[in-house]
Structure 1
């Protein structure tokens, strides 16, 4: 794996891979500043893309930035570059999140496991469609768990009463959202041909997925409050397969680690033909988020809940251009 020359074109490509990451409501809450002389890439949270109602602590914002950071690291290793990361613990929602110093890597120090996930960066999409009731093999679950552990987080697959409890909490949160509404959610949904075809962010009409006719999959109804959409109704999984990302701590550094772990899990899942979506309804309500912890295993704070399974991989969703998010400095 030859080392790539570090120049503006290289950095533009790395950031282009970074911004393919998932984020809450596809808000893409990141900005990048490249310092040419030092080969440093600063990753900032974008204060204009916060969600004061659904994410008042900027926890989900940091998770999204963590996913982008993981993509950048995977792309760098794939290019034969070593990405040395320094994480900022600043609580400021618009502040510096992390700094990545790039340098050439010797073949023996390359993280081939992470570099091997690079090809999946542009293949990973959120799928809000029904999945088959085919179980994910235990061996793959173990490998996914190891990916999360490599980033300092824990991945667990709830079953039995714990899974049923999580689904009940999700249903409660979705019912509350239907009743109360969510201004952050409304802001980022793009319905109608004109909006969907020209959007560079947000959740477009073509990515809403099917309406749930039956089943217990926690699929969010992003179309509520918008003009009727012709999505059709479908039967979802009777007992969906959920994965919980948790961390030992609950602070900005832990949120960033959770985002990196989440994206690393999703990239491997994509490579193995496993589709994915997110179940964040309850995580946006502090009184519900804390009850999701597994009291038996003693896991730490829940940061993200994933729905995994075999089904359609989901459509491409819009992204802002690199020009929109990257600034070059001397």
Structure 2
């Protein structure tokens, strides 16, 4: 007996959830193509949304696409579909990053993916202050396990290592001031004034969060020196809870795995009542990125710095419509 084909409405619903994933500067650097006869959904990199100065090797682009891929897996599992993923490569289509076969539900499949579905639309990047409250060890253990399931490692650095990371973020910010010509990617992907209300991508001004008056949270100021009405300033946590997501390798396939691990961790954190934000600032320069790894216990290559804590979840940011990112053939 033939398995029923997923219809266009079902596939569109899956993609609508996939694109809620985080990406650098909310550039949403992905495209999808559904091969209806083969029940395969393809994921492509959209190089029109690449960042040549901030992400010259497209590492962050792959991480964002990996996060979208994991969200697609969660959405499919919730819909009763078993997603079978094949990663790179396809020499004939170098922009193709993954293929996902959408099979009928497997009654023996674990329910871990579907369990994460309630967090998909609740997860938002929060650029607001978090409480100083510590994160319980059982929650940390669950987040470490989430990263491990996707082939990555999540490490919670100790106090001296946190200070080092904060210094590296500050160093990256100082370089931005000294080299304003390198801020083109940031300007391209920030939305100010009336543009923020009509945006379908980028970081709108209502998601910048307040300016930091004091504290040590590693936060990129998306406004820079540009004025933002009614933004205000406030105090942030003095002892931020950071986590480092690493992979053993540093190839495009590793970056895709890092993106999937990142999104699994973020969704687990959301279910645990944590607010989250990301910073890649210190990872955008090769010399600084190398210094983020713990010289004693760190292994592999750091792919993302996460900030976790108890606080507001932050507002939803705009997304492109499904018709702009999905082709059905």
Q: TM-score, normalised by structure 1?
A: 0.95
Aligned residue pairs total 325
* 1:17 to 1:63, Cα distance in 2 relative to 1, 3 A: same
The answer (yes or no) to whether the contact 2:80–2:104 under 8 Å persists in 1 is yes
Structure 1 unaligned blocks of 5 or more: none
Aligned counterparts of 2:93 and 2:164: Cα–Cα separation in 1: 32
Aligned counterparts of 2:172 and 2:92: Cα–Cα separation in 1: 28
Aligned counterparts of 1:119 and 1:177: Cα–Cα separation in 2: 38
The answer (yes or no) to whether the contact 1:212–1:235 under 8 Å persists in 2 is yes
Q: Which moved more, 1:74-83 or 1:247-256?
A: 74-83
Aligned counterparts of 1:94 and 1:108: Cα–Cα separation in 2: 35
Structure 1 counterpart of 2:177: 178
Aligned counterparts of 2:187 and 2:177: Cα–Cα separation in 1: 12
Aligned counterparts of 2:281 and 2:223: Cα–Cα separation in 1: 15
Aligned counterparts of 1:245 and 1:324: Cα–Cα separation in 2: 31
Runs of 4 or more above 2 Å deviation: 89-94, 225-230
Q: Which moved more, 1:223-232 or 1:26-35?
A: 223-232
Aligned counterparts of 1:148 and 1:29: Cα–Cα separation in 2: 22
- Where does 1:278-293 land on structure 2 (aligned, <5 Å)? 278-293=278-293
Cα displacement (A) at 1:299: 1.3
Structure 1 counterpart of 2:192: 191
Aligned counterparts of 2:204 and 2:117: Cα–Cα separation in 1: 26
Aligned counterparts of 2:252 and 2:286: Cα–Cα separation in 1: 16
Aligned counterparts of 1:163 and 1:314: Cα–Cα separation in 2: 23
Aligned counterparts of 2:90 and 2:153: Cα–Cα separation in 1: 23
Structure 2 counterpart of 1:157: 156
Q: TM-score, normalised by structure 2?
A: 0.96
Aligned counterparts of 2:101 and 2:282: Cα–Cα separation in 1: 36
Structure 1 counterpart of 2:122: 123
Structure 2 unaligned blocks of 5 or more: none
Cα displacement (A) at 1:5: 6.1
Q: Deviations for 1:195-217, whole angstroms, at most 9, x for unmatched residues? A: 01100000001000010000000
1:113 aligns with 2:112: yes
Structure 2 counterpart of 1:137: 136
- Where does 1:205-224 land on structure 2 (aligned, <5 Å)? 205-224=205-224
